[in-house]
Structure 1
């Protein structure tokens, strides 16, 4: 992994923070859907460059120049996120700027990939095939950005459908994945980036507010949630998946990489951003006693983002494991179902209690897995990265 790739990811730290703030300013269903559309756009942009960096060294030649151009253009995309659906007067029309810059990021990526493909006919054919849905999606984004509301959201959502479905239909026969460990590590890093956003949300939620005991308690619960999410992914899951990907070869490896990382990591990563939104809101509830009482419940989108976000995250793990090993994870499935079922109950609980409940369930899940699968865990982590699949 190169330092330029790490530098590239810092732009997505900023972008994720911008989306979280956008949803926090409009904690409605509409705000959540807009946030989801933006996150889906950011995700495929990041994934595109993760594949490119696996084909050729990211810090050499034309790939380096492309990464720098994409980095700067994505920063402009991130800057326009607060105005992505409601443009402010006095400047450029932000929705169009975002769409145009995003199109540049995706199209420059394809052009660079064609150069990096060299004389690999199969890869060049795959890229030209992929360019069809990417080009159509970019066109829909630019048209939607130019028209603005009320057509914008629908056209951008349609662009995502064209992009995600089109790339899936295009298949994997021409893709090459020469460095599976690098690829797995890149996706592990973006999970860390999302988790970092959850930590930032905890701090931002209490900025410029007094720090009473309730804030300390909420912070501890929030950290427990973030650490649990880190543990559930990096303790064993990441090691096993990396080993399975390394053992595969040819098109089987490319297909596995597409399924497990490009698509199944989407709910794993994006759910963390929604969880970060809920952490930010809980901290605002317990710190701003002028607007909220400690007995006030967390309701609406923030509550669903907390319980539903963790549910989606755990089910993403379940699907990820099944794609890699062909087995199911019953205990994570059970906890996910319990969290979803608790949403109506939590609607009546104080916000701090709701967060504490989620933290307790996740911490209990981590403790259960650490004890029940301690032997398998030790084998995977210290002896055989593609060994036992029980954990």
Structure 2
């Protein structure tokens, strides 16, 4: 076998299974823990008096975006390269361990665990494409991963500098610069001198596999909120008010599932498969799922606040989580519908507007009433979806992308 043939064998072929491998599902288990650490960090920030809540939340958002980039690039690797090959399996397992280290360091990433978090992140973001570049040998696609190595190496300077400075504020600035550089590379295709860019929208990917990976990370986010609901209520008094908040929280999570998978969520795989440019739709769906997952995580923080304080005085910051999380999810879900069908249901846009309008009024509500209001909006959207589909043939994807 020649060097080029060995590199070709690393790519997904026509006989490659479109389903996510058991190793990838194993990899996702780390993100169940990682997303829980993200939510818990925000909950600790909100619940601790005297803290600059929004500054702390911004730091947590930065850490979440770093984790998301690790998951996204790993998903694209296993959708582009054959996951049954030993080198790709090693890449996934190594990324799994690195993600676990990041998750463990996350609660104190802006304190004494900064260097651990940064080194784990950089080891994956540079080591993964470097290993694939070597494994591709002389195959032309090695220039793609070589671009990523070069781009990420430059961005590593900001990450390492931020980890080494003692001031958390300066660390946040440097890490924001590093993360912006990394996401800019993803958006532009990691352009480097002489080689130019290589946009992921032009990559040949396994559409059904990529769609399944997005569906799975969304379900992981829902699972993380289930953990929050269960742990919070099990550690509180089994009073009627607490049980009401517990039941409402579960209802909202179930409605997230229903609204996501109603038609568009089920048709993502087919939409990517029949798209003229599967990579373009896959890239767009990646950004959309980032916002939807963020909306679910934000709502999960609201669950804990409501279960612990169902009839307490509503704080301004609490309203952002209880009502803002569902609004963020619905806004991204509206975009997702456009990606699949080329249109947006009025009910979703109306839901976002109602939730935003309720935010100022929420200060006069109890947390329980605010969460019930969010649930009522989601119920109305789910009912509207069901009514629109009743007695009509199943809609087929018609992505404008």
| Structure-1-length-normalised TM-score | 0.88
Residues in 1 aligned to 2:213 and 2:221: alpha-carbon distance in whole angstroms: 13
1:16 aligns with 2:35: yes
Q: For 1:87-136, what per-residue CA distance to the aligned partner results, in whole angstroms no more than 9, with x for missing partners?
A: 3xxxxxx0111001111111122123325656542x33333333343223
Residues in 1 aligned to 2:21 and 2:378: alpha-carbon distance in whole angstroms: 33
SS in 1 for 2:364: coil
SS in 1 for 2:83: coil
Deviation of 1:306 (Å): 2.2
Query: For residue 364 of structure 1, what is the aligned residue in structure 2?
Result: 380
Deviation of 1:34 (Å): 1.3
Query: For residue 143 of structure 1, what is the aligned residue in structure 2?
Result: 161
Residues in 2 aligned to 1:17 and 1:255: alpha-carbon distance in whole angstroms: 31
Q: Which runs of 5+ in 2 are unaligned?
A: 1-19, 47-52, 190-197
Residues in 1 aligned to 2:81 and 2:120: alpha-carbon distance in whole angstroms: 24
Residues in 1 aligned to 2:253 and 2:266: alpha-carbon distance in whole angstroms: 19
Q: For 1:161-216, what per-residue CA distance to the aligned partner results, in whole angstroms no more than 9, with x for missing partners?
A: 11112221125278533310111001100000000111111122233322111111
Deviation of 1:297 (Å): 3.1
Q: For 1:232-273, what per-residue CA distance to the aligned partner results, in whole angstroms no more than 9, with x for missing partners?
A: 111211123222210024xx2212211122x22110111111
Pick from 302, 306, 310 the counterpart of residue 282 of structure 1: 306
Figure out how many residues of one structure are paired with residues of the other and give that number: 365
Residues in 2 aligned to 1:24 and 1:256: alpha-carbon distance in whole angstroms: 34
Report if aligned partners of 1:19, 1:81 keep a CA contact under 8 Å in 2: yes
Report if aligned partners of 2:99, 2:121 keep a CA contact under 8 Å in 1: yes
How well do the aligned residues superpose, as a CA RMSD in angstroms? 2.0
SS in 1 for 2:309: helix
Report if aligned partners of 2:255, 2:379 keep a CA contact under 8 Å in 1: yes
Pick from 200, 221, 226 the counterpart of residue 253 of structure 2: 226
1:25 aligns with 2:52: no
Pick from 351, 354, 360 the counterpart of residue 338 of structure 1: 354
Residues 235 and 145 of structure 1: is their aligned pair in 2 closer, same or farther, counting only changes over 3 Å? same
Query: For residue 189 of structure 1, what is the aligned residue in structure 2?
Result: 216
Deviation of 1:320 (Å): 2.1
Query: For residue 325 of structure 2, what is the aligned residue in structure 1?
Result: 309
Pick from 159, 163, 172 the counterpart of residue 153 of structure 1: 172
Pick from 139, 144, 147 the counterpart of residue 126 of structure 1: 144
Residues in 2 aligned to 1:136 and 1:298: alpha-carbon distance in whole angstroms: 45
SS in 1 for 2:236: coil
Residues in 1 aligned to 2:27 and 2:255: alpha-carbon distance in whole angstroms: 26
Query: For residue 271 of structure 2, what is the aligned residue in structure 1?
Result: 244
Residues 246 and 117 of structure 1: is their aligned pair in 2 closer, same or farther, counting only changes over 3 Å? farther
Residues in 1 aligned to 2:182 and 2:111: alpha-carbon distance in whole angstroms: 24
Q: Which runs of 5+ in 1 are unaligned?
A: 88-93, 287-293, 381-385
Residues in 2 aligned to 1:33 and 1:70: alpha-carbon distance in whole angstroms: 25
Residues 134 and 306 of structure 1: is their aligned pair in 2 closer, same or farther, counting only changes over 3 Å? farther
Q: For 1:18-59, what per-residue CA distance to the aligned partner results, in whole angstroms no more than 9, with x for missing partners?
A: 111111111111121112111111111000100111122334
Report if aligned partners of 1:126, 1:174 keep a CA contact under 8 Å in 2: no
Q: For 1:301-324, what per-residue CA distance to the aligned partner results, in whole angstroms no more than 9, with x for missing partners?
A: 332022111111111112222234
Report if aligned partners of 1:58, 1:64 keep a CA contact under 8 Å in 2: yes
Report if aligned partners of 2:37, 2:106 keep a CA contact under 8 Å in 1: yes
Deviation of 1:328 (Å): 2.4
Report if aligned partners of 2:259, 2:382 keep a CA contact under 8 Å in 1: yes
Residues 54 and 119 of structure 1: is their aligned pair in 2 closer, same or farther, counting only changes over 3 Å? farther
Pick from 46, 51, 60 the counterpart of residue 85 of structure 2: 60
1:215 aligns with 2:242: yes
Q: Which portions of structure 1, spanning 4 or more consecutive aligned residues, are displaced by more than 4 angstroms?
A: 115-120
Residues in 2 aligned to 1:246 and 1:298: alpha-carbon distance in whole angstroms: 47
